[in-house]
A and B are shown apart, each in its own frame.
Chain A
C-alpha cells in the first residue's frame, strides 16, 4: 500500500511539473513582430514544408537586414504538423504560446482548413503560401492565399487547353486521395463541358497505389487521347512519363503547379519531360532579376534549387510586409486588432512578387494573378508567350 501511495504521489508530482513547466505566458507589448509558420517538415510531404520554412526564413532575414517591418524587427519560428490535421492544431497552439502575432501557413490544404477554424476565432492573420483548397478561406475572414485556389487552377487549365486548341480528346489521371488533385480534377471536368474538347477517360489512383500507372495509361491510350492532363505532384508524374515512354505512348502532357520540380527528380531522365506543359506561377530559371536573386540566395543558403512552394512562401513574407506597412501595424497591437488591420489592408494592396505581378486579393481571401503557361524545352522551363 505504501508503495502504491508513493507511486501515486510521484505520478501526480510528475504530471503537475509537466503541466506547469509548459505554462508559458505569451509575451504582450513586445517590440518585434513574431511570425509563426506551420507545415510538414517530417514525413512524406516534408519537401514542401521544408521549402516553405527555408524560403520564409530567407525572406525574413532580408526584411530584418533592410530595417524590418515599420521599423520593427521580425522573429520567426516554424513548427512541424506531420501532415496531420490534428497535429497542425498542436503546432498552432505551440506558436500561440510562443507569442505569434502573424502567421504563414499551413503548407497543405487539409491542415490549413483545420487551423483556419481555430485562427478565425482568435482573428489571427493567416496567409497560406500553398493551401489551395477553397475550404481554407471560405467563411474565414482572416485567411488569405498566395497560391491559386484549386478551382481557379482547374478552370484555368481547361480554358487554356480549349482556347489554344491543344487537343480534342483529353484523358485525366489524378490522385483521388489527395485534396489538391481531386479539387482541380472536379473543376476541370465541370469547365471542360463548355470547351471544344472531350474528356475520354478519367482514371484515379490513391496514395496507396502510386507506383504503377500502366492501367491508367493503357486506358488513356485505348481511348485515343491526344493530351493527358495530370493535376498531380511531380513525383508521380515522373513515373507516369517514364511508364508512358516504355509503353510507346506519346500524347501531350499538361499539368498544374504541382508538376514544377519534375526536372529535379532523382533517377528521372529529363528528356522524357520534353514538351510537357504546365500552368505554374513560378519557374526557377526565369530570366527576371528578382527570381534569379532569390534562386541564387536560396541555393547558397540551403544548397537546393527552390520550388514553387518556396517562391510562394518568399512572396508571403513580402506580402505580410506590404500589408503591415499599409495598415501601419505595430507589434503592440493585440492579435485580434492586428488581424483586423491586416485584413483590411490585404484587400487594398497590390504586390509584385516572384509568383505573379500585381497580385491583389478579393473579399474571400483568394488571390488574383495571371497564370503563366510554361513548357519544358531543352531541359528547361520556358514561358509560352
Chain B
C-alpha cells in the first residue's frame, strides 16, 4: 500500500509537467500535419522563453516573497553573453546543438553570477526598496548594452564605450556588439523542442527546490522572517540561493530568446522595465506562488495580442481591458466569494443529480 501512495505534491508536479508535455505533443502533431499557422509556428520559441521567465520570476516573487522588477535585466545578460559567444564561435564550432549547449551554460552562468553580485547588497532591502533597486538595475543593464561596442580582428578583441570607430580595428575586423544596433546575425540555434526541454528542466528545478528542505527554508523566510531566523535558518544564504537560481533561469530564457532572433537589440520594449512588468503580470495573473498558473498565464497572455491582430488598432486597447478583467476575476475579494458560491452550487447540483 505504501508504495502506491503518491504524495499530493508529486501528483501536482506531474500534472504541471504533463500539461507541458501534452501541449508539446499536440503542437508537434498539428505542425507535422500542416494545420499550424505560420504565426503560431513563429511564436513557439518566444512562448517557451516567456514560460521560463514567468516560472523563474515566480521563484523570487512567490516563493521567496520579494518583489523584483529587474528580471528582464537578467534575461538581457543571458541573451547578450550567449549571442556574443555563438557569433564568435560560429566558424569554429559547427555543430549547432553543441554550440547552443555551451552558449546556454555561458548565458545562464553569467546571469547567475550577476544575480549573485546584485543580490548580495540588494537583498538586505525589503519591499518597495528592493523593487526600486532591482528596477534601476534592469535599466542599467539595458543602457550598458546600448553603449557597449566589442569587435574582433586578428589582434584579438577590442572594447569601447563610445562608438565603433574608436575600436581601432584592423580592416579584417568584425564588430560583434555594435552599441544600440546590438548583435546582428546570431545563428538560429534554438527551436521548439529545445525550448520545451528547457521548460521541463526549469519546472523540475523549481518544483524540486520548492519541495526540498531548502525550499521550505526559503518559504519560511517569506512567511515570517523573525521566526525563521530564530530557528537558525541562514537568511542571507537562502535568499541569495533563490535569487541566484531565479536569475540563472532568466538567463536561460534570454539564451533561448536571442538564438531565435537574427537581430538582437536592447530596447525598452524587450529588455527594459516594460518587459519586467510584463513578466510580473504573468506571475500575478497566474497566481503568486503557483507555478502551473505562471505557465498558463504566460501562454495565454503571449498569444492573446497576436490572436487579436484582426482588430487592428483596437487590439492593444482590448488587450489591456482583458488584463483588467482577468485581474478582477482572479483577485477581487467579491469575485473570489462569487466564484466560491458558484462552485458550491455547481458541485451540490452534481451531487443531487
Interface residues of A in 57-84 (CB under 8 A from B): 79-80, 82-84
CA distance A35 to B307 in the complex (A): 21
Known: A185-B163, A189-B165. 9 other contacts (CB 8 A): A11-B296, A20-B35, A90-B39, A90-B42, A94-B306, A110-B182, A182-B163, A183-B181, A208-B143
Residue among B180, B262, B315 making CB contact with A114, cutoff 8 Å:
B262
CA distance A117 to B38 in the complex (A): 15
**Interface locus among A155-163, A172-180, A357-365:** A172-180
Secondary structure type dominating chain A contacts: helix
Q: Is A89 an interface residue (CB 8 A)?
A: yes
Within the complex, what minimum Cβ distance (angstroms) separates A178 from chain B? 6
In the complex, chain B residues whose CB is within 8 Å of the CB of A179: 180-181, 265
Chain A residues at the B interface, C-beta cutoff of 8 Å: 3-4, 8, 11-12, 15-16, 18-20, 22-24, 26, 41-43, 79-80, 82-86, 89-94, 96-97, 109-110, 113-114, 116-118, 133, 135, 176-179, 182-183, 185-186, 189-190, 206-208
Within the complex, what minimum Cβ distance (angstroms) separates A11 from chain B? 7
**Interface locus among B23-31, B53-61, B232-240, B246-254:** B23-31
Within the complex, what minimum Cβ distance (angstroms) separates B36 from chain A? 6
Take A22-B307, A79-B309, A94-B309 as given contacts and tell me if A113 and B263 are in contact as well, using a CB distance cutoff of 8 Å. Answer: yes
CA distance A213 to B176 in the complex (A): 30
Pull 12 A–B residue pairs with CB atoms less than 8 Å apart, ordered by A: A11-B19, A12-B26, A19-B30, A19-B40, A23-B30, A42-B316, A96-B38, A110-B181, A110-B267, A117-B188, A182-B180, A208-B143
Closest A residue to B178 by beta carbon equals: A182
Q: Are B37 and A135 in contact (CB under 8 A)?
A: no
Take A19-B27, A93-B39, A96-B38 as given contacts and tell me if A133 and B22 are in contact as well, using a CB distance cutoff of 8 Å. Answer: no
Closest A residue to B181 by beta carbon equals: A179
Q: Are B307 and A85 in contact (CB under 8 A)?
A: no
A-B contact count (CB 8 A): 133
Interface residues of B in 31-50 (CB under 8 A from A): 35-43, 46
CA distance A12 to B268 in the complex (A): 35
Within the complex, what minimum Cβ distance (angstroms) separates A360 from chain B? 27
Closest A residue to B164 by beta carbon equals: A186
Take A8-B19, A23-B30 as given contacts and tell me if A117 and B263 are in contact as well, using a CB distance cutoff of 8 Å. Answer: yes
Q: Are A207 and B261 in contact (CB under 8 A)?
A: no
Q: Are B46 and A97 in contact (CB under 8 A)?
A: no
Within the complex, what minimum Cβ distance (angstroms) separates A25 from chain B? 8
Q: Are B296 and A135 in contact (CB under 8 A)?
A: no
Q: Are B40 and A22 in contact (CB under 8 A)?
A: yes
Within the complex, what minimum Cβ distance (angstroms) separates A141 from chain B? 15
Q: Is B15 an interface residue (CB 8 A)?
A: yes
CA distance A82 to B181 in the complex (A): 17
Q: What are the 4 closest A-B residue pairs judged by CB atoms, nearest first?
A: A117-B262, A93-B42, A93-B38, A113-B263
Residue among A12, A23, A80 making CB contact with B22, cutoff 8 Å:
A12
Q: Is B52 an interface residue (CB 8 A)?
A: no
Q: Are A113 and B296 in contact (CB under 8 A)?
A: no
In the complex, chain A residues whose CB is within 8 Å of the CB of B296: 11
Q: Are B38 and A86 in contact (CB under 8 A)?
A: no
Q: Are B42 and A89 in contact (CB under 8 A)?
A: yes
CA distance A228 to B146 in the complex (A): 24
Closest A residue to B41 by beta carbon equals: A93
Closest B residue to A187 by beta carbon equals: B165
What string of 1s and 0s marks CB contacts (under 8 Å) between B269-312 and chain A? 11000000000000000000000000010010001001101001
Q: Are B37 and A86 in contact (CB under 8 A)?
A: no
CA distance A311 to B325 in the complex (A): 42
Take A19-B26, A190-B165 as given contacts and tell me if A42 and B313 are in contact as well, using a CB distance cutoff of 8 Å. Answer: yes
CA distance A97 to B35 in the complex (A): 11
Q: Are B23 and A23 in contact (CB under 8 A)?
A: no
CA distance A206 to B40 in the complex (A): 34
Q: Are A177 and B180 in contact (CB under 8 A)?
A: yes
In the complex, chain A residues whose CB is within 8 Å of the CB of B303: 18
Q: Are B39 and A22 in contact (CB under 8 A)?
A: yes
CA distance A141 to B331 in the complex (A): 53
Within the complex, what minimum Cβ distance (angstroms) separates B270 from chain A? 6
Q: Is B114 an interface residue (CB 8 A)?
A: no
Q: Are B179 and A176 in contact (CB under 8 A)?
A: yes
